[in-house]
Chains A and B, each alone.
Chain A
Amino acid sequence: MAQTKASAKPVAKENSMWWMYLPAVLLVTIFIAYPFFNGVRISFTDWDGFSQTSNFVGLDQYVRMFTDPTTWTVVRNTLFYGIGSTILQNAIGLGYALLLNKSIKMRTVTRTIVYLPVIVSPLIMGYIFYLFFAFQNGALNDGLMFFGFDPVNALGNTTWNPVIIMLVNVYQFVGIAMIIYLAGLQSISKDYYEAANIDGASPWQQFRNITLPLLAPSITINVVLNVIGGLKLFDVIVALTGGGPGNASQSSSTFMYSLYFSRQDAGYAATQGVLIAIIILILSLLALWYFKRKEIEA
């Protein structure tokens, strides 16, 4: 971003025009910032989610959280959804963008079809994949049985269903990464490649030393978007497994939802909320810091 130089004229009075952003600040404060801090307060109570009263219990909920084996399943799944989706969305999205940046047939059609799932509600996308993975008459088992294999209970398998959920998320949002990389690729001047060709650089060397460094801003945006999106995964899980069997595919979002609405355990739900907020904050700052540093080096 170009930093404009402050005008040389002395300013009589610094005018922030703060009243212009007052409505936006109020809206965000009332509906996000204030409830967020209120959530932190609730995490120190035993509130059930509907009573007018609750007791301050200090760090009890935090002790409970760190000794609850479900917490670790949930954190592991949430990290798996967040980091797994990020790696695959970026690798595949970049691959697609490199392919579609060439003058080949089918470019527009491929771009349209790959992007189409982005506009579908993730909940509905979950149902579509339910048609695919359902044990009875699911497309996967119809296919397996056609070739003489035994049907598999993919969604009931606790090892595989987090993988399926993660892949559905990748399928749905890889289009965004692809478009951002395509825009990034199109902003790289052809001159660099011509010069590299004259110097006899191999395609891999060109990719490594020209394309990747100049794509750094796109990589930063994609990684941060995908990390945040993946860590907040909710709808697809509700549609495909409801977090089960047991808690096997539960993410922080679905776990909090069930703690609050099914188990009247609002204090504990808030504690889990604080944990995921800290995880998202740390991971997105790490990603931002790491890739920004790469951008400056490039």
Chain B
Amino acid sequence: MRQFKIIMLSLLALFITLLHAVPFYILITTALKVQGDFSSRWTLPDYFTLENFAIAWEQANLGPAMINSVLITGGAALLLIFFGSMAAYPLARKNTKLNKGVLVFFIAIMVVPPLTALVPLYQFVVDIGMLNTRTIAVLMNAAAFMPLAIFLYSGFIRSTIPKELEEAARIDGASTLGIFFKIVFPLLKPVTASVLIVACVFIWNDYQFAIFFLQDSAVQTLTVTMDSYFTENQHNLGLVAAAAMIAMLPMALMFLVLQRYFIAGLASGAVKG
């Protein structure tokens, strides 16, 4: 009886898996069909060609866009780790009135929808001459995810880093920054992994900031490039599907290889928060 129940539940899991795989299956069948092939999206073609991938790669500017996405995601991640962990340290350790207020400020920012800030920000970015620069995308994304990073870091420092280590170093005459970077920061690796994984996925996939601030094709990220490629090729969706698969590939590979960390990072972030 118990065995039967396990089999039924496993079948249910199989059904859920197949159901969730359908959109990816449709994406693949579409990407493999050449222009003019209007056969059902549910069937695979009876020929094999990667023509769509070659054309999409050439037409859609995906290479430079990928480099822009890497640079922006990497830059924002560096700022998040460096300034985020540094900011979290006093907020976790020094319970002064000022620090409590600053922590509330960061939490309040998390609730403020960035899109309300986007309209006035656009003119500001134009005024300081930073429209269509990768720098502005790095700064915007770092600002948007800074509260989350600080939240995760300060929770981790408070709950898992022993104070005694720092006190011992202080008696030995180490400076605050020295203590932070030599003693505390190396111990933050697990939470740094969480911050990286959560923030990188969202920054890599960001469309809303990018569509406001990166309109020039030289600085466009993958999402903005995909947006214009879709508009140009609404009647040749095979190319769009192929381009979408190429654009998804870096993150998908990273996810499949580092899956354990993705899931552990998200779960620990949620439990600690």
Cα distance, A279 to B9, chains bound together (Å): 40
Cα distance, A182 to B124, chains bound together (Å): 44
Q: Given the interface contacts A17-B89, A20-B180, A139-B42, does A183 sit within 8 Å of B270 by beta carbon?
A: yes
Residue of B nearest to A225 (CB): B270
A284 at the A/B interface (Cβ < 8 Å)? yes
User: Which of these binds chain B: A26-34, A64-72, A189-197?
Assistant: A26-34
Residues of B within 8 A of A134 (CB): 237
B23 at the A/B interface (Cβ < 8 Å)? yes
Q: Given the interface contacts A28-B109, A32-B144, A123-B227, does A21 sit within 8 Å of B86 by beta carbon?
A: yes
| Contact pick for A39, options B16, B120, B207, CB 8 Å | B120
Chain B 116-146 near chain A by CB (<8 Å), digits 1 or 0: 1111111110000000000000011011101
B113 at the A/B interface (Cβ < 8 Å)? yes
Cα distance, A202 to B23, chains bound together (Å): 38
Residues of A within 8 A of B268 (CB): 183
Residues of B within 8 A of A138 (CB): 41
Cα distance, A127 to B79, chains bound together (Å): 32
Q: Given the interface contacts A99-B12, A171-B20, does A14 sit within 8 Å of B116 by beta carbon?
A: no
Most buried by A among B23, B111, B124, B251: B23
Residues of B within 8 A of A50 (CB): 123
A187 at the A/B interface (Cβ < 8 Å)? yes
Chain A 256-280 near chain B by CB (<8 Å), digits 1 or 0: 1100100000100110011011001
Residues of A within 8 A of B88 (CB): 21
| Contact pick for B9, options A35, A99, A273, CB 8 Å | A99
A75 at the A/B interface (Cβ < 8 Å)? no
Residues of B within 8 A of A38 (CB): 120, 124
- Assess whether B146 is in contact with A131, with CB atoms less than 8 Å apart: no
Residues of A within 8 A of B50 (CB): none
CB of A247, distance to nearest CB on chain B (Å): 17
Cα distance, A2 to B254, chains bound together (Å): 34
Q: Which chain A residues numbered 1 to 41 have a C-beta less than 8 Å away from chain B? A: 1-2, 4, 6, 14-18, 20-21, 23-25, 27-28, 30-33, 35-36, 38-39, 41
Q: Given the interface contacts A104-B6, A123-B207, A260-B122, does A32 sit within 8 Å of B114 by beta carbon?
A: yes
Residues of A within 8 A of B241 (CB): 127-128, 131
Q: Given the interface contacts A116-B252, A146-B40, does A20 sit within 8 Å of B87 by beta carbon?
A: yes
Residues of A within 8 A of B67 (CB): none
- Assess whether B87 is in contact with A24, with CB atoms less than 8 Å apart: yes
A221 at the A/B interface (Cβ < 8 Å)? yes
Residues of B within 8 A of A15 (CB): 94, 96
B57 at the A/B interface (Cβ < 8 Å)? no
A294 at the A/B interface (Cβ < 8 Å)? no
Cα distance, A162 to B245, chains bound together (Å): 26
Q: Which chain B residues numbered 15 to 33 have a C-beta less than 8 Å away from chain A? A: 16-17, 20-24, 26-27, 30
Number of A interface residues at 8 Å Cβ cutoff, please give it: 101
B204 at the A/B interface (Cβ < 8 Å)? yes
B222 at the A/B interface (Cβ < 8 Å)? yes
Most buried by A among B9, B142, B150: B9
28 contacts between A and B (CB under 8 A): A1-B155, A2-B159, A6-B95, A18-B98, A21-B102, A23-B83, A27-B146, A28-B147, A31-B139, A35-B118, A102-B6, A106-B10, A106-B14, A112-B259, A113-B17, A116-B20, A116-B252, A123-B226, A123-B227, A124-B205, A124-B226, A130-B237, A137-B38, A217-B271, A228-B113, A232-B113, A232-B115, A281-B112
Which residue numbers of B lie inside 8 Å of A, CB to CB?
6, 9-10, 12-14, 16-17, 20-24, 26-27, 30, 38, 40-42, 79, 83-84, 86-91, 93-96, 98-99, 102, 105-106, 109, 111-124, 139-140, 142-144, 146-147, 150, 155, 158-159, 176, 180, 201, 204-205, 207-208, 211, 222-223, 226-227, 230, 237, 240-241, 244, 247-248, 251-252, 254-256, 259, 262-263, 266-268, 270-271, 273
Which residue numbers of A lie inside 8 Å of B, CB to CB?
1-2, 4, 6, 14-18, 20-21, 23-25, 27-28, 30-33, 35-36, 38-39, 41-42, 49-50, 96, 99-100, 102-107, 109-125, 127-132, 134, 137-139, 142-143, 146, 171, 176, 179-180, 182-184, 187, 217-218, 221, 228, 231-232, 234-235, 238-239, 252-253, 256-257, 260, 266, 269-270, 273-274, 276-277, 280-281, 284-285
Q: Which 9 A-B pairs have CB atoms at the shortest separation, nearest pair first?
A: A183-B267, A21-B87, A121-B205, A17-B90, A31-B143, A24-B87, A273-B116, A35-B117, A38-B120
